[in-house]
Amino acid sequence: MTVHTKNELFVAGSWAPARGERITMTDPSTEEPVYEVPEAGKDEIDTAVAAACEVHDAGSWASVPPAERAAYLLRFADELEKREPELNVQLAREFGAPIGIAREVAGAAGLTRYLGSRIGEVNFEVRLSGAFRPTLVDQVPVGVVAAVVPWNAPIFLAVQKAVPAPLAGCPVIIKPAPETAYSAFALAEAFEAAELPAGAISVLPAGREMSEYLVAHAGIDKISFTGSTATGQRIAAIAAGGIKRTGLELGGKSAGVILPDADFAEIMPAILLGTTVNSGQACSLLSRLLLPHNRRDEFLDAYTAALDTVVVGPALDPKTTMGPMVTWQHYAKVVRHIDIGRREGARLIRGGGRPAGLDRGYFLEPTLFADVDNGMRIAREEIFGPVIAILPYKSEEEVIRLANETIYGLAAYVQSADIGHARAVASQMRAGNVHLNYPAGDTAAPFGGYKQSGNGRESGKWGLEEFLETKAVIGYQAA
Q: Give the active site residues.
A: 249, 283
Q: For residue 137, what are the contacts with CB-CB under 8 A and spacing of at least 6?
A: 125, 126, 127, 128, 470, 471, 472, 473
Q: For residue 450, what are the contacts with CB-CB under 8 A and spacing of at least 6?
A: 408, 409, 410, 430, 431, 432
Each as own residue / partner, the long-range contacts of residues 42-46 (CB below 8 Å, 24 or more positions apart, any chain) are 42/210, 42/213, 43/19, 44/9, 44/11, 44/16, 44/18, 44/20, 44/204, 45/173, 45/204, 45/206, 45/210, 45/213, 45/214, 45/217, 46/217
- Nearest Cα neighbor of 440 from 228, 282, 291 is 282
